[in-house]
Chains A and B, each alone.
Chain A
Amino acid sequence: MKVVGASFSHLGLGNSDKSSSSVNLPSTSNSIKSSKPKIKPIGRNSSFKIESPSSTPRHSDQYTDLDDDWDADVGQGLSSTESQPKFLQSKPSRSFDYPSLSKSNHKRSESGVKKHVDGIIKDPANSLYTLYGPNITQEDKSIKEIEELNAIVSKFNRFKAIIQDQNINLVSLRKMAWNGIPSELRPISWQLLLGYLPTNSDRRVTQLSKKRQEYLGGISQVFNDNKEPATWHQIEIDIPRTNPHIKLYNYECTQRSLERILYLWAVRHPASGYVQGINDLATPFFQTFLSSYVESDIDIETFDPKVLPKQVLDAVEADTFWCLTKLLDGIQDNYIHAQPGIIRQVNTLKDLINRIDSSLYTHLENESIEFIQFSFRWMNCLLMREISVKNTIRMWDTYLSETNGFSEFHIYVCAAFLVKWSDELKAMDFQEIMMFLQNPPTKTWTEKDIELLLSEAFIWQSLYKNASAHLRA
């Protein structure tokens, strides 16, 4: 029997949970204080830390849990959203401490797998229990740094508040997500933005379990039939060539998962079938969803998923499959015969560059460069051959927040990407341009570079989106 106590407020609906993290002076870190976020401008040499809310329960009704198995209890509590919405809407009458809340109690598993994966499988919103934003303990921060950290914490909490709403407001979520989603909240946010996860929290558990069943059913069906040899062969040779520079994708377990996802998708979409490059597009989902079940201090790109329980892997695989399907639904004509979607995008890009940077356009023309020669791959792989997976993931936060992120906004991103090197390109000849654009200097790019690219793309979109439609007609 253990005595535990904490707040149930993270289950709280609406915006009640604004207090999940606060910056406090160290001396108060263990005392029960007001749960209002404290943003104290503290002196240069004072230390502070961001406190987890466990130690600041809002409701004093503490309770003794007679159940040793808190995991199961959490599970019940979580899945009870459907059966007991009233209970949850009212002030929680009981609360318990979540073990990972306070650092000293938190025992990380050695495998790096989170302890309470069962709850997260059921409803990814359950992961919010253990998420309190960035873990900041460093000392000697300047006031400016503290302000920045507080901004991060407050952003995190605003996100969390949106996601914890019983009826999630997608407009607000999109607005927030456009500027980047905190990594811990990304899996659930993406699934919501893609429409995979219902916005109504009551429907989440059943919907998810239904989709995962459906996926597993699909897999057992297509893998019982004789495999379509051409499709299977192509997938088999592309799997080892998928992000081969990242460890995660060299593991057997990852490769078999991706293989199943791609094959099932191909069989279900005979008009396009599997096309090289779709393998790349599955990886941001796989990596992001996998991260839900892994401790946040682990680099997911070096993690071997085989240590995860089978049901976790099944869930990650199914979620990846469905989200990939949703994404590809929007860009289907990129991959059907003759790839008309890509041709259209390349032409739009050409059109755009002519308006945005006519001297670059003229130079490319004089050098006999055709847009399709360098931008085909940009469209086919959504710039994933030019930009790292981690940066792509950040980029997709924005794409998923745009109305037609992958089919339209992407073209503006490509325009911004090309114009970025306008000066260099204008000094190059045909061969140099081709070589440069085949291997652009993006290896050292950080999230900041991506965000700059996205904001440039946003400007081009607002300036030219309707104008170009008008002129083409």
Chain B
Amino acid sequence: MAENDDYTYDYEYLFKIVLIGDSGVGKSNLLSRFTRNEFNLESRSTIGVEFATRTVEIDGKRVKAQIWDTAGQERYRAITSAYYRGAVGALLVYDISKSESYENVSKWLKELKENADENIVIELVGNKSDLDHLRAVPTDEAKQFSVENQLLFTEASALNAENVDLSFQQLLKSIHDMVSKHQFDMTDYSGPKPSGGPTISLTPTPGNEQSKNKSNCC
């Protein structure tokens, strides 16, 4: 569990984020590093979807990230893609030592395009940067790809914690910028926060009164 403040409603924004990418690239450990500052060498594969949160400060505002960590295996796609809906950000993770996981990035982008809101902010994360001696994906190549596809980009290591906070912060900041730019009506969003289900969404979610009223951006 994260810090106590995660259990209070002391935040101004709630952003729903999804973690996606091939199986075994280290999504769950990136998440546990970010939310609990833990790295588990004996972690088991993620089945379906797992959930964690952390509240951070972005531009003087408290932003709570509600992160859904998805299973990487193809078979779970039908289940996990349901979680893309309503997400305002996605961390698309590959393993810098496994070129295949990088080659599949376009496949994941397509998945997002098909299932997520069109304005979702995406960050490409090359994980396992501690394995530089086994590097299979040049940094420049991934950086170039990110520019071409309007993605944020970082290389990080869940193992030694390098750039992990930075990659999440960068994503949250970009979402926050975008939400602000869209003149999000904050006066309408000052009351007690929703009970976890509804989040700020980039498109109104039909059938969900709460989020419709509170997050009609875009």
The interface of chain A, by Cβ under 8 A from chain B, is 230, 233-234, 237-238, 241-245, 272-273, 275-277, 279, 335, 337-339, 366-369, 372-373, 376-377, 380-381, 385, 429-432, 434-435, 438
Contact = CB atoms under 8 A, between A and B. Distances in A.
Nearest to B80: A376
Contacts of A276: 23, 45, 47, 71, 73, 75-76
Given A237-B23, A276-B73, A367-B197, A337 B47 contact: no
A273 B195 contact: no
A278 to B, nearest CB: 10
B47 A438 contact: no
B196 A275 contact: no
Contacts of A376: 47-49, 79
Contacts of A244: 41-44
A234 B23 contact: yes
Contacts of B75: 272-273, 275-276, 335, 337, 339
A368 B73 contact: no
B99 to A, nearest CB: 13
11 contacts: A230-B74, A244-B41, A275-B73, A276-B23, A277-B45, A337-B75, A339-B78, A366-B195, A368-B194, A372-B48, A432-B7
Contact of B47 (A373, A380, A430, A435): A380
A368 B197 contact: yes
A104 B99 CA distance: 61
B118 interface: no
Nearest to A368: B197
B196 A429 contact: yes
A277 to B, nearest CB: 5
B49 A431 contact: no
A167 to B, nearest CB: 41
Interface in B5-61: 6-7, 23-24, 41-45, 47-53
Nearest to B198: A368
Closest 7 CB pairs of A and B: A368-B197, A430-B196, A244-B42, A376-B48, A237-B24, A377-B47, A338-B78
Given A241-B44, A366-B195, A367-B197, A438 B79 contact: no
B215 to A, nearest CB: 14
Contacts of B41: 244
A340 to B, nearest CB: 10
B108 to A, nearest CB: 15
B51 A438 contact: yes
Contacts of A367: 195-197
B73 A435 contact: no
Interface string B68-103: 000101111011000000000000000000001000
Nearest to A433: B196
B147 interface: no
Contacts of B6: 431
Contacts of B71: 276
Given A244-B42, A368-B195, A429-B196, A434 B51 contact: yes
B167 to A, nearest CB: 22
Contacts of A381: 47
A271 to B, nearest CB: 11
Contacts of B45: 237-238, 241, 276-277, 279
A277 B47 CA distance: 7
Nearest to B46: A276
A336 to B, nearest CB: 9
A366 B210 CA distance: 12
A430 B197 contact: yes
Contact of A429 (B47, B76, B78, B195): B195
